[in-house]
Amino acid sequence: MKWDAPETAMAHCTDNDKSVEVTIVSRTHDTIRAELQGMLLVFKKLKPGIYVSNFSGREFVIKTK
């Protein structure tokens, strides 16, 4: 049986200037759903390669290639 590692990404919190690793749950052409410590964040495409999510008064950004 083959186990694939979950896809992860680095999300940068612009409020405290720290980066955290999130687990990608799903993605479409304009959204990325990711889990951060049990919380589901929905990142929306702001412009090509930049996705933004707001959660609990904090802004998180994922930059893709």
Dump pLDDT digits (tens) for 24-40: 999 999 999 999 999 99
Closest Cα partner for 6 from 44, 42, 41, 33? 33
- The pTM score is 0.88
How many Å apart are CA 9 and CA 7, to the nearest integer? 7
Q: What is the pLDDT of residue 2?
A: 67
pLDDT in tens, 34-60: 999 999 999 999 999 999 999 989 999
